[in-house]
Amino acid sequence: MRFMIIRKADAETESETSPAGPQHAQLLQDMMAYNQAMLDAGIMRGGQGLKPSSTGARVQFKDGKPTVTDGPFAEARELIAGFTLIEVKSKEEALE
């Protein structure tokens, strides 16, 4: 079974600058260690960070016709900043 671990967007991920400081450095170090552990376990299938919504667009269909809205989008809580795709035997294993 494949599961997606989603990193929700926030003001920091929606800004187009890289945050600085020891907290950010620690977060990146922890994420890299976590990803390496999943690679070592053979369960990571992919993942990456995504660009801020200011560089994207939203496509919605109504009656079979697309409407394109350029970013940025105000509701950061509905946006995704990145993802990791894993493959495991069960939801319990994914949560473990």
The pLDDT of residue 36: 95
Give the Cα separation of 34 and 95 in Å (integer): 13
DSSP 80: E
Q: Can you give the CATH number for the domain in which 69 is found?
A: 3.30.70.1060
Q: How many domains does the chain have?
A: 1
Q: What is the pLDDT of residues 21-47, one digit of tens each?
A: 677 788 889 989 999 999 999 999 999
Mean confidence (pLDDT) of the chain: 89
pTM, rounded to two decimals? 0.76
Domain span including residue 74: 2-95
